[in-house]
């Protein structure tokens, strides 16, 4: 009986830890504050909120109807961005459930690419329970790394 209890306790702690919110990012270089133009493919939910938040902070959105980037090599991307200085490549999906709140978890991965060089400027990965937190954190990173 004690082994079963121990097993259930370990299983419960493991499930709890697996459902915790987390995020990580890296920044390769600063973002130019004089050219706040960005190409983003159409999207709903998180992407709709992200576009609105960027517009409120002075970004001009160029909407693309297809994939924003094509990988050429490990360190260079070709973008389909029109006249935008930056492109945002992203994917998101709802996964898991937070064991404490029973809220759905959101996985969000994004790369901000400088179209003038084809280099990734900022990379972000998050597993969060609230899409507003995800949008605020990502846009906050963009703003923090915009050189003034």
pLDDT at 101: 72
3-state secondary structure at position 72 = strand
For 33-74, the pLDDT digits (tens) are 999 999 888 777 778 888 999 999 999 998 875 555 555 555
pLDDT at 92: 77
For 1-35, the pLDDT digits (tens) are 667 656 544 444 444 444 456 767 777 788 999 99
Q: How large is the average pLDDT for residues 113-124?
A: 89
Specify the higher pLDDT residue, 9 or 102. 102
Mean of all residue pLDDT scores within the chain: 75
Q: Please return the burial class of 127, using the count of CB atoms within 10 Å of its CB with bins 0-12, 13-18 and 19+.
A: buried
**Are the C-beta atoms of 135 and 46 separated by less than 8 Å?**
yes
Q: Is the pTM of this model over 0.75?
A: no
Task: Name the phi and psi angles at 37, rounded to 5.
Answer: -120, 140
């Amino acid at each position: 009986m004690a082994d079963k209890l121990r097993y259930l306790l370990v299983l419960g702690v493991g499930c709890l830890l697996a459902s915790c919110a987390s995020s990580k990012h890296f920044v390769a270089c600063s973002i130019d504050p004089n050219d706040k133009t960005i190409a983003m493919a159409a999207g709903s939910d998180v992407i709709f909120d992200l576009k609105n938040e960027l517009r409120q902070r002075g970004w001009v959105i160029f909407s693309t109807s297809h994939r924003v980037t094509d990988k050429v090599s490990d360190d260079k991307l070709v973008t389909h961005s029109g006249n935008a200085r930056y492109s945002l490549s992203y994917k998101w999906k709802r996964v898991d459930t937070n064991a404490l709140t029973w809220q759905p978890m959101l996985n969000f991965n994004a790369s901000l690419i400088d179209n003038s060089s084809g280099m990734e400027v900022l990379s972000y990965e998050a597993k969060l329970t609230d899409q507003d937190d995800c949008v605020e954190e990502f846009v906050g990173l963009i703003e923090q790394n915009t050189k003034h």
